[in-house]
Amino acid sequence: MRLELAYQGGAFYGWARQPTLRTVQGCLEEALAVVTHQRGRRAGNQGPVWNPHLVVAGRTDTGVHASHQVCHLDIPRALLESGQGHMDVDPVEALKRRLRHLLPADMALHDLRLAPEGFDARFSALERTYVYRVCDRPDDLDPRMRGFVLPLDGQLNLESMNQAVASCPGLHDFGSFATANEGGTTIRKVLYAHWDRVPRRSLLERPSGVGESSNWAGPAYDTPVLESGLVCFTIVADAFAHNMVRSLVNASLRVGLGKQTVSWFCRKVEHPVREGATGPAAACGLTLEHVRYPSDDRLAARAASIRAKRTLETS
């Protein structure tokens, strides 16, 4: 099964299941166990107990959000079909509806469907897109966004920040900005990295060619789009190492506030050395926005190729 979901990460201790902490994986697997009547069941005449196990595209850290997360799950066909019950829908739709009913309010299941042959949520992915949102202007600070935006004292110099992150695209060892998992590496291929200020625009704009004296029924006042004025860092890569995005953000912010230079940032990309000035920015501003996959006939090949440990010579 392929699942697509979103979550507000503020009340989760990251994606990965932990014995005593609330995590996204833990909540979702618990709900799956409940809807398939496996929670608390012991192996017996009805066969072994099925324990749900999700594989995810991006293991988000504590406090990080997702608007488009992807994961996969292997489920016995008989167990899937048994969950249909009296619902006048196919078993997959029945599972999706029951699961949505059980999930907490800070999670949303956008889709659940049979995955194509060879699909692996983690290893088949071509790229992931993250966005980090910052508010550096008090006039644009909206308390409704407090859980998704980092408020900052001091206006940012986006020109110097973009000069700095221009050194990120390509295959690099991001050891200055990330930590590797055991047996892993901090070498990643970044496809795009850029800072932008969201232009201020109205939620409902007067149509072009319609003058002030017309009978247009729209409001006579400006209702700005919620993200108007925010500064957003968008980064796309084939994969990300632990704390990589938030550490790149923190280093960028130091450049944007005049505390460090563009050349300092570029040296950190060129010479991977981990130190305190490149620690991670707060988790609240970061959201996993998108995961892209190849066509169905290339899923298995992509998964096989990406499992190999990469080097700086990897294309």
Residues recognised as catalytic: 61
**Burial bucket for residue 79 (CB in 10 Å: 0-12, 13-18, 19+):** middle
Tell me how far apart the alpha carbons of residues 102 and 100 are, in angstroms, rounded to a whole number.
5
> Strands 231-237, 54-56: parallel, antiparallel or unpaired by DSSP?
unpaired
Residue owning tokens 């009296």? 86
* Helix residue ranges per DSSP H, the chain: 24-35, 77-82, 91-102, 158-165, 244-256, 262-270, 299-306
φ/ψ (deg, to 5) at 111: -160, 150
**169: which 2 tokens?**
């695209």
Check if the beta carbon of residue 258 is closer than 8 Å to that of residue 225. no
CA angle 172, 178, 179 (to 5 degrees): 115
Nearest to 188 by CA among 288, 56, 66, 314: 314
Residues paired with residue 197 on neighbouring β-strands, in sequence order: 231
Determine the length of the chain. Answer: 315
